[in-house]
Structure 1
Amino acid sequence: MNGNVAQSVPDHDVVIVGGGFSGIGAAIILARAGFTDYLLVEDGDGLGGAWFWNTYPGVGVDIPSFSYQFSFEQISDWSRVYAPGDELKHYADHCVRKYGVDSHTRLNTRIVGAVFDDDTDIWTLTTAAGDTISARHVVGATGVLTQPKPPAIDGLDDFTGTVMHTARWDHDVDLAGKSVAIVGTGASAVQVIPSIAPEVEHLTVFQRTAIWCLPKPDAILPGPARLALRRIPGLKRVARTVSQAFVELNFPAPAHFNGIVPIATVGERMGRRHLKNQVTDPETRAKLTPHYALGCKRPSFSNAYLRAFNRDNVTLETSGIESVTPTGIRTVDGTDHDVDMLILATGFKVFEHGNMPPFPVQGSGGRDLETWWDENRFQAFQGVSVPGIPNFFTILGPYGFNGSSYFNLIETQSNHIVRVLRHAREQAATRVEVTEKANAEYFESVLGRRKNQVFFQGGCGNANSYYFDVHGDVPFRPSPTLETMWASRRFDLDSYDYSRPAYGRSASPGH
């Protein structure tokens, strides 16, 4: 480092990468805190993230809408308790317009690399088009439900019919009268299958692992109910509180504290009863019965999915797939299933190269984030910051999300980032970096709670869950939601180092 190096001025104070609710929320919260010099960059030609990319039949939120919105921007015009996807996209657009995010947005911009300069404390982001954007700070808000994960099946490229991933649905394709195969029975498939079964000639569902499917407490919200939510003081808060409690009891509590109170077993009994009430054929019911503990992978809520297997034109196939042929799918028992169309409901990249991180990130001293995670396991201080990667924050980093509402996560992580940036501004610091000590202590604390998590109690061996990363860890935050909220506003600010560029670093303020 050269003491004569002049401090450069970046294009923006903050660049937010990702235009889903994570990016939108981070932008709004940063701006409300006074950090208005930001740019939000988005790969697609519209904002909304998962609700921009996912438009398949039946797409909708899988927790009550009262929880699936920002606490500071609660609306009352949801048509149902569980809102359909187009309403979530409309809500995203509403937030973007109301809070002026659109005037700080650059669409059709894919970030393919980020490099930190130790001399200037500036990030240089390279786009797929070859140009660069510089930033003092970067917020990674790319989410996990946007990059489709195609299945590793031999012959997939040889199929002569139509192939579609649920996350890239082509609405110009006519399903009527078609023989269709759908690969996968995860959350997307649970919504797609009952939506298209009445339309197609025949639907063959290829299931590797049965999903826990619980009753969905959904209902139309009639006009008088929506009017009451708008006009009766405190009613929206009550609805949100009840909704939050419901969400907490359906994932964070059984997933993280099953060793203290075996809540998961209660949910399993409910799931088995729901299955018995919904599916008439005993053989089909047996195939749809999960053989792993509730919580090992993402459960689903539906009042229509299981019933779809009662239809004469729906077949459940549990033999493994050997290959895709030009005309369909061949299973390991040698059976050929000829179809006109393949629907891939095979999920998204999560804890994998290409998504964690979503682009190459080179931090201080050339530290490569992907390599560091490979060598040290996925970890980040409260899911936000990684040592050696200064001025870089993530919304959905390892051990950040506890499994409740993504909106709680977005607000929690954004509040964390705002606290750090405010303190940096007070210190006239241009570089903030979580300390090795703070990160190590946090990582040790989350691993120390693992004994009570359902993931590590021996019941997840047959789950094939994307929750488990390549290290055998499950990088969920083992905390109740209230604790995550409290921690984001109370963590020790000295968990970070604050300093100036190279020539002033030896006398960095605050240390």
Structure 2
Amino acid sequence: MNDATLDHEAIIVGAGFGGMGAAIELMRQGVADIAILEREDDLGGTWHVNHYPGLAVDIASVTYSYSFEPNPNWSRLFAPGAELKGYARHVADKYGVGKHMEFGVVVERAEWDDDAGRWTVHTADGRTRTAKYLVTATGFLSQPYTPDFPGIDAFAGDIIHTTAWQDGYDFAGKRAAVIGTGATAVQLIPEIAKTARRLTVFQRTPIWVVPKVDFPIPAVVRRLFGAVPATQKAARAVNTSLLEMLMVFGVLHYRQAKPGNRLAALLAKTHMRVQVRDKRTREQLTPSYDFGCKRPTFSNTYFPVFNRPDVDLETSSIVRVEPDGIVVDGEKKIGVDTLVLATGFNLWDVNFPAFQIVGREGRDLGKWWRDGRFQAYEGVAVPHFPNFLTLNSPYSYSGLSYFTTIEGQMRHIARLFSELRRRDADRFEVTERANTEYLDESTRRLADSVFYAGDCSTSRSYYFNQHGEATLLRPQATLSTLREMESFPLDDYVYG
């Protein structure tokens, strides 16, 4: 292949933390000509798109960051969203990946040309770009879900999706409704309740909420982190270990460690009992599924909201939306001036992948996944898709911090591209054998998880795809994941 005919050596789709991590590692491996295509108008991924009131990390900031680029200046243990956006800008500038980014570029499809040995990427502006390597880093939660309630188009008030927040929006004097009680809603609802005349929270599925040990990080500690990085590294290790215990014993090894899962649920129930006065409300807020079936969250301000006389919890199903309100089962109508959609994201229908990707012999990735099983070797590679790495993919999410996943994938990229250089090759493709073995092993390990050994029937969890399989998480401890990502058998790929 004549590289002179290519527009770029590598194209990365997505300028969030995953895309930046991939770019940093590719540059370390000598891949210099990189284009990072981003549909939004700035970098940061979810931390650019989301800027609703109350936005903050739900993993302590010392862990929710690159281990190789610690930030000693977090203002709180759980940093607000604006600081994560600033951290993304800092990383892009320091590691030189910002200059490779192009914003407002919507990728519609990518096709592999086996004869030419290259990818052709088509964008919504009608352009095409070619590259030797393609990396998708479009995130797990990037395609917002908007429910199609009957009559919603006729609603006369304001409709705000949390991913399209109107900064400065004033709820004073308004009857507000929030649809959804996931992690985003848990952060947002207490903020709306501060000013709205009345707030109705429409809950379809309750969420497990545990206490949030959050506090401002004193200036003296921040100075210590900056002067002695080992101290921040130690803090990261402690927090990571606690999260690891929650993930491994509470979720992945549910069958063997069921008491640990029950203890986590008891902690959440006790937290709610202390904070919510009304018995009926506590019953409504208590999940009927096992802890870990869907991602739990941390908050000290969510439950107390339901003690307020101007906040209502509505658990009846929505029948339709009318111009001035919402009608639920029994034809009960609730007046609404502003409708907030905290309805999450569509992972399995439109996000895996986020655009059409056609590999060798015309295999359409999305169709192949949906017609068969969702799968990806080590959570990054797919047979019949040469020179392709998918960072947001089945069986890839490791641990509770996204950065664990990112850094594992960076290690995989480092090993793979080192082998390409050693062989003086420029093409790789994972074998069917290696992919099948990884899929079978992941399936076997997940049999012990809360998803299959526990009761998740009422969870409506985004962990489960349309086939009823929980194929999002990599069912391994973080340390073993990182070891395997940097030591996978090199003959699991073919090279050319």
Please state which band the TM-score falls in when normalised by the shorter chain.
Answer: over 0.9
Q: Structure 1: how far apart are the matches of 2:229 and 2:385? A: 45
In the alignment, what sits opposite 2:264? 267
Instruction: Mark the CA change 1:218 to 1:6 in structure 2 (over 3 Å): closer, same or farther.
Output: closer
For residues 92-491 of structure 1, what are the structure 2 equivalents within 5 Å? Answer: 92-232=88-228, 234-262=230-258, 263-352=260-349, 354-475=350-471, 476-491=473-488
Say whether the 8 Å CA contact 2:152–2:321 is kept in structure 1. Answer: yes
Deviations 1:406-455 (A, max 9, x none): 11111111221232122123323232110000000000101111221000
Deviation at 1:233, TM superposition (A): 5.2
Instruction: Mark the CA change 1:484 to 1:69 in structure 2 (over 3 Å): closer, same or farther.
Output: same
Say whether the 8 Å CA contact 1:258–1:452 is kept in structure 2. Answer: yes
For 1:483, the aligned partner's letter is S
For 2:123, the aligned partner's letter is T
Q: Structure 2: how far apart are the matches of 1:167 and 1:360? A: 23
Partner of 1:182: helix, strand, or coil? strand
Say whether the 8 Å CA contact 1:202–1:314 is kept in structure 2. Answer: yes
Say whether the 8 Å CA contact 1:404–1:481 is kept in structure 2. Answer: no
Instruction: Mark the CA change 1:133 to 1:180 in structure 2 (over 3 Å): closer, same or farther.
Output: same
Q: Structure 1: how far apart are the matches of 2:494 and 2:371? A: 24
Unaligned 5+ segments in structure 2 are none
Partner of 1:421: helix, strand, or coil? helix
In the alignment, what sits opposite 1:508? none
Q: Structure 2: how far apart are the matches of 1:63 and 1:341? A: 30
Partner of 2:252: helix, strand, or coil? helix
Partner of 1:429: helix, strand, or coil? coil
In the alignment, what sits opposite 1:22? 18
Of 219-228 and 438-447, more deviation after overlay is shown by 219-228
Unaligned 5+ segments in structure 1 are 500-511
Deviation at 1:282, TM superposition (A): 1.0
Q: Structure 2: how far apart are the matches of 1:254 and 1:241? A: 19
Say whether the 8 Å CA contact 1:7–1:120 is kept in structure 2. Answer: no
In the alignment, what sits opposite 2:52? 56
Say whether the 8 Å CA contact 1:149–1:348 is kept in structure 2. Answer: yes
Q: Structure 2: how far apart are the matches of 1:30 and 1:431? A: 15
Deviation at 1:6, TM superposition (A): 7.1
Deviation at 1:97, TM superposition (A): 0.9
Deviations 1:108-158 (A, max 9, x none): 101000000010110000001010111100111000222211113211111
Q: Structure 2: how far apart are the matches of 1:431 and 1:9? A: 16
Deviation at 1:36, TM superposition (A): 1.8
For 1:167, the aligned partner's letter is T
Of 246-255 and 36-45, more deviation after overlay is shown by 246-255
> RMSD value over aligned CA atoms?
1.3
**Percent of aligned pairs with the same amino acid:** 44
State how many pairs are aligned: 494
Of 338-347 and 35-44, more deviation after overlay is shown by 35-44
In the alignment, what sits opposite 2:71? 75
Deviations 1:189-208 (A, max 9, x none): 00000111011111000000
Say whether the 8 Å CA contact 2:29–2:417 is kept in structure 1. Answer: no
Say whether the 8 Å CA contact 1:395–1:414 is kept in structure 2. Answer: no
Instruction: Mark the CA change 1:66 to 1:6 in structure 2 (over 3 Å): closer, same or farther.
Output: closer
Deviation at 1:89, TM superposition (A): 0.4
For 2:448, the aligned partner's letter is N
Q: Structure 2: how far apart are the matches of 1:256 and 1:118? A: 39
Q: Structure 2: how far apart are the matches of 1:314 and 1:29? A: 48
Partner of 1:343: helix, strand, or coil? strand
